[in-house]
């Protein structure tokens, strides 16, 4: 297990450096993993931002992280492969900005107490989220949520649901004005 301890030490040494480089590009480090992969190390970086991360932005972050890793090559102790990615759609919603990005999406929520439910995300603030659950608006505090993930939908959500979340009576175009 000495190898595991060494990897944790390398990750711990690199994490603040990598996080700072990513922050300078306007994004946030979600996860950093450093693992031995043959003769090289594999440095896996997961980044996120308020509006997600585009492919061009991943390239920007990759260059920034590679620059930091090259400056601190003694910490890695040799060649490395860098992988930079953004979180997948199946990533749990744990922060208000993630809930905000899921606005109008269908989310499966497992509360700390009570049965699991599906709801469509409405307004989001620092304390919780308004959701449309079984046709009724419901306030859900983040403290109530054990686990929540976006459900993949293959068709457009019903206009009536969107109208309820946006405070419109019937969901017609005139109501949106």
Digitized pLDDT (tens) for each residue of the chain, 177 residues in all: 344 555 588 888 999 999 999 999 999 898 899 988 888 899 999 998 877 788 898 999 999 999 999 998 888 888 999 999 887 767 788 888 889 888 898 999 999 999 999 999 999 999 999 999 999 999 999 999 999 998 888 888 888 888 888 876 544 444 333
- Domains detected in the chain: 2-85 (3.30.300.70), 96-176 (2.30.30.100)
- Helix spans in 25-128 (H): 55-71, 73-76, 96-101
In whole angstroms, give the CA distance from residue 45 to residue 86: 8
Beta pairing, strands 106-111 & 145-150: antiparallel
Q: 116-154 burial, b if ≥16 CB within 10 A, otherwise e?
A: eeebbbbbbeeebbbbbeeeeeeebebeebeebebeeee
């Amino acid at each position: 297990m000495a190898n595991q301890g060494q990897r944790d030490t390398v990750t711990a040494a690199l994490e603040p450096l990598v996080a700072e480089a990513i922050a300078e590009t306007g994004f946030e480090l979600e996860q950093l993993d450093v693992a031995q992969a043959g003769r090289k190390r594999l440095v896996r970086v997961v980044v996120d931002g308020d509006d997600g991360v585009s492919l061009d932005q991943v390239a920007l972050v990759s260059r920034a992280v590679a620059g930091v890793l090259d400056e601190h090559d003694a910490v890695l102790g040799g060649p490395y492969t860098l992988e930079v990615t953004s979180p997948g759609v199946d990533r749990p919603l744990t922060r208000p900005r993630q809930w905000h990005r899921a606005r109008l999406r269908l989310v499966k929520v497992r509360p700390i107490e009570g049965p699991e439910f599906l709801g469509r995300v409405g307004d989001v603030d620092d304390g919780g989220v308004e959701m449309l659950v079984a046709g009724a608006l419901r306030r859900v505090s983040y403290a109530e949520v054990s686990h929540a993930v976006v459900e993949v939908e293959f068709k457009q959500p019903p206009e009536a649901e969107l109208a309820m979340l946006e405070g419109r009576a019937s969901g017609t175009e005139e109501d949106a004005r």
